[in-house]
Chain A
Amino acid sequence: SQTIHQWPATLVQPVGSPLSLECTVEGTSNPNLYWYRQAAGRGLQLLFYSVGIGQISSEVPQNLSASRPQDRQFILSSKKLLLSDSGFYLCAFQTGRNTEAFFGQGTRLTVV
């Protein structure tokens, strides 16, 4: 069966520190992968999406970056975190176009 793993569940980081959030998918090949960010009580902001290894599309200019080193691995990074980077980060995948999206459990990031 298809599963998605995202970690860590919670993270508290100081301003200016680096960030690395990892997401892995099992049970499918060549998934579409997504990173979303959700501020408290708000909607889902699409940050990055990828349709294949090394193919990353950025939706919002910011100090975050994403990489897809393997087919089913998606990493969200930052060299220096800002207070405004706090939020709930969600990784998701689709098995193809116009299919349902499956979400990871999310990472609640607090930058202090």
Chain B
Amino acid sequence: GQQVMQIPQYQHVQEGEDFTTYCNSSTTLSNIQWYKQRPGGHPVFLIQLVKSGEVKKQKRLTFQFGEAKKNSSLHITATQTTDVGTYFCAAGTGGGNKLTFGTGTQLKVEL
């Protein structure tokens, strides 16, 4: 069945360093969403990408959807301690378009 994989699983960075997480699907996606889950919290929607090759920015966060619509990335420039958490990509899969989440990337930022 549909699988959405993310790498890396964990990432430790020093504050001010950049961070990137990658999301890969075995099939073509109609769209992809990104969520952030703070420690102890619930996932919160960040953005949705729909078009092939689409790039969207939110302050220090840059989201990209691959040309083949099978992969996506989230890049954070100059990380801050407030960026700590787990970042998930998600996509609608299957006939019912159920929302399936990637495996997540846990980001830790050290001072």
Taking Cβ atoms with an 8 Å cutoff, the residues of A that contact B are 32, 34, 36, 41-44, 46, 49, 51, 57, 59, 90, 92, 94, 97-98, 100-106
Q: Does B82 contact A (CB under 8 A)?
A: no
Contact across chains for A97 and B92 when beta carbons are under 8 A apart = yes
Q: Is the CB of A46 within 8 A of B102?
A: no
Q: Which residues of A contact B42 (CB under 8 A)?
A: 90, 103-106
B59 interface contact, C-beta 8 A: no
Contact of A101 with B99 in the complex, beta carbons under 8 Å: yes
Q: How many residues of B contact A (CB 8 A)?
A: 24
CB-CB nearest in chain B for A45: B101
Offer 21 A-B interface pairs, CB within 8 angstroms, sorted by A.
A34-B99, A43-B101, A43-B104, A44-B43, A44-B88, A44-B101, A46-B98, A49-B96, A49-B99, A57-B98, A98-B48, A98-B50, A98-B97, A100-B33, A100-B45, A101-B45, A101-B90, A103-B43, A103-B44, A106-B41, A106-B42
B25, CB-defined interface residue at 8 Å: no
Contact partners of A102 in chain B: CB under 8 A: 45
Residue of A43, A57, A103 touching B102 (CB-CB under 8 A): A43
B contact residues vs A (CB 8 Å cutoff) = 30-31, 33, 35, 41-45, 48, 50, 88, 90, 92, 96-104, 106
Contact call B102/A98, Cβ cutoff below 8 A: no
Residue of A nearest to B88 (CB): A44
- Chain B residue numbers with a CB within 8 Å of A32 are 98-99
Q: How far is the CB of B43 from chain A (nearest CB, A)?
A: 5
Q: How far is the CA of A37 from the CA of B68 in the complex (A)?
A: 30
How far is A51 from B97 in the complex, measured between Cα atoms in Å?
10
With both chains docked as a complex, state the minimum distance between the C-beta of B61 and any C-beta of chain A, in angstroms: 16
Q: How far is the CA of A106 from the CA of B96 in the complex (A)?
A: 24
Given the complex of chains A and B, what is the CA–CA distance between A101 and B97 in angstroms? 13
